Amino acid sequence: MAEKNMNEFLMDTNRIGIVESVDTRKIVVSVENEDVLNTLKINDIVILAGSNADEKLIGILTKVTKKRIDIDEMDEEEDQLSSNNCCVINLVGSFYNKFGAGKENKFKRAINTYPEINSAVYQANQSAMQMLMNAISSKATDSKSLEIGHFASNRDVAAILDGNRFFQRHACIVGSTGSGKSYTVAGILEKADQLSHANMIVFDLHGEYNELSYADQIKICDEPGGLHIPLWFFNYEEIHSLFVESSEGTSTNQRAAVINYILQEKKKYIINNMSSVSEEIVTADTPVPFSAKGLIKYLEEQNILENKTGEIYKTGDNKGMEKTKKGQYYDKLTNLITRLRTKMDDKKYGFVFNEADTMKADYLNQFADRIMGNDSYRVKVIDLSEVPSDMLAIVIGIVTRLIYDIQFWMTPAKDEVRHPLVLVCDEAHIYMSNDMSKMKAVEKKSLEIFEKIAKEGRKYGIGLLIVSQRPAELNTTIMSQCNNIVSLKVINDRDKSAVAAMLTDSLVGIVEMLPNLDVGECVVVGDAIMLPSKIILDKPKEKPKSATIDFWDRWYDGKQTVFDIDAATLNLIKQSRG
């Protein structure tokens, strides 16, 4: 096929018309024949002349219009109408014919020239499409390719992403509920799992991916096999937001008491257990152990502490007894103690306060190895379905911060790089919201770590794959760093506008097709794909637990449903589904 010229396939039989208008966003084509107009379909691939015979401009048909124009009333033939038929094209790239042994045709996303007015425009026939698709997929047909489906315009050609660009430049998957986001994610996870050294970490808020056999299932909970996040993993800001009420008049004393204990205990641990580390470098944020139970004991003691003055009562009932005065924190920590005690006694927070196996510094190594290591599993699913809602953003922020910090402090030798990993952020709009007015300080801190990864992550081998059904609510700073968009069906106008804001001017017209996509269809735009066209996604072999419940059918037949109130209330009391 490489020896043929694209011109051989551009014949009068597939000529659409001539270029009527050109700007940086779209090309308007006057359609000469109404019979041709009737054959045009949205998303058709079209071909236009480039700067020379071996260059062709490739576009996507985004609009077809038929206008009826009245002829001048002075015309002798009254009541006659004339048609002004046209279509709109968005340019997506350039095709180059290459000749000679060993040379291949090229397709590039760059658009170096624009078509001339009155130049011919052709609809790509089967042969031209095959030549174009061969040029697109010629370098990505081996087992390492990230194949996600097939092009709707030619189902014989695989839709292949550049895995390097897709992950290192961040990506997002958006779509309305039921459009197939979870299937898309599962398909990408399956592809990644086929690579021997892949490393993907999934934040699973609803337990959708907890039955994938190839993934390490990590549940944040206080149950056998569950992963704990002890209080000493929290930095001071996170601890402060959990227990210290800033609006209280005693908040200054509460903060001082907490930080005093944390510093004291961390320095003591360093002295007793880590002789290679100087206690002088320890701060409240240094990730070494201290006991939450010890903290509440210390606070209770400080809350009733009275200091001796060295003076003696000379008269009265206390004659001969030493005088005392109220300590610095006397009766100023009561509310703090109550809040801390309430959370410690609540089983939902057991993954933080159960310290049986987390009081040694090497627990951080164990935690990081479980989350980040890829010796046994290449995909890790962190199940957050039982994490209390008030802790969700904090927990995700802590895990992400630890991952970033560990990657940052890796020290590659010369000619080495950090081993890369990708964070798959499901339901990202919950903890990457663009509305910061209702966020707690700690939630803003959690957001900041994602913003930092979005801006700097690729330097340290961390990529983001953001998944959301509400792109309009996602943080714009983070989304502006996502150079790849996988958009499934999007109906809401605000969400469509949010997707459009992420596209280059020449591709904004693609947004108009999003409401018409079927389940399992998407449009991929960005650095990772050559042709931003509609794609029919492959279904994963192992499906996530995200299938929409068929209300009417289940009301009719009641099949495969569960309604056990006794078991549910018992689980509610136990705070566990086990």
Per-residue pLDDT tens digits for 49-77: 887 878 889 988 888 888 765 555 445 55
Cβ-based neighbours of 235, under 8 Å, separated by 6 or more? 284, 285, 401, 445
Identify whether the C-beta of residue 421 lies closer than 8 Å to the C-beta of residue 410. Answer: no
Number of domains in the chain: 3
Q: How confident is the model at residue 248 (pLDDT cuts 50, 70, 90)?
A: low
Residue 524 sits in a domain of what CATH number? Answer: 3.40.50.300
pLDDT score recorded for residue 113: 86
Q: How many helices (H) and strands (E) does the chain have?
A: 16, 20
Are 436 and 501 in a shared domain?
yes
- Residue 317 maps to a domain: no
AA identity, residue 406: I
Are 413 and 332 in a shared domain?
no
Identify whether the C-beta of residue 292 lies closer than 8 Å to the C-beta of residue 230. Answer: yes
Measured in whole angstroms, how far is the alpha carbon of residue 258 from the centre of its chain? 35
Q: How confident is the model at residue 91 (pLDDT cuts 50, 70, 90)?
A: confident
How many other CB atoms are there within 10 angstroms of residue 304's CB atom?
13
Tell me: pLDDT of 492 over 50: yes
For residue 556, give its domain range: 161-221+359-572
- Residue 365 maps to a domain: yes
pLDDT score recorded for residue 550: 78
Q: Nearest CA to 9 among 127, 110, 111?
A: 127
Are 410 and 524 in a shared domain?
yes
- Residue 150 maps to a domain: no
Give pLDDT tens digits for 263-287: 999 999 999 999 888 988 999 999 9
- Residue 354 maps to a domain: no
Are 189 and 262 in a shared domain?
no
- Residue 353 maps to a domain: no
Are 263 and 400 in a shared domain?
no
Q: Where are the beta strands (DSSP E) in 244-393?
A: 306-312, 322-326, 379-383
- Residue 127 maps to a domain: yes
563 vs 81, higher pLDDT:
563
- Residue 146 maps to a domain: no
Q: Which residues of 172-186 are buried (b: 16+ CB within 10 A; e: fewer)?
A: bbbbbeebbbbbbbb
Are 410 and 549 in a shared domain?
yes
SS3 call for 427: coil
The two three-digit tokens of residue 566, written as one number: 């006794």
Q: How confident is the model at residue 403 (pLDDT cuts 50, 70, 90)?
A: very high
Beta bridge partners of 463: 422
Tell me: pLDDT of 141 over 50: no
Are 522 and 430 in a shared domain?
yes
Are 302 and 416 in a shared domain?
no
Cβ-based neighbours of 78, under 8 Å, separated by 6 or more? none
- Which of these three, 88, 107, 139, is where a domain ends? 139
Q: Model pTM?
A: 0.83
Tell me: pLDDT of 314 over 60: yes
User: Of 145-149, 229-233, 441-445, 547-551, which gets the smallest average pLDDT?
Assistant: 547-551
pLDDT score recorded for residue 202: 97
Tell me: pLDDT of 23 over 90: no
Are 21 and 104 in a shared domain?
yes
Q: What percent of the chain is modeled with pLDDT above 90?
A: 39
AA identity, residue 159: A
For residues 565 and 74, what is the distance between their CA atoms, to the nearest angstrom?
81
Q: How confident is the model at residue 81 (pLDDT cuts 50, 70, 90)?
A: very low
User: Of 152-156, 166-170, 186-190, 366-370, which gets the smallest average pLDDT?
Assistant: 152-156
Tell me: pLDDT of 325 over 70: yes
Are 270 and 134 in a shared domain?
no
Are 326 and 458 in a shared domain?
no
Are 435 and 535 in a shared domain?
yes
pLDDT score recorded for residue 268: 94
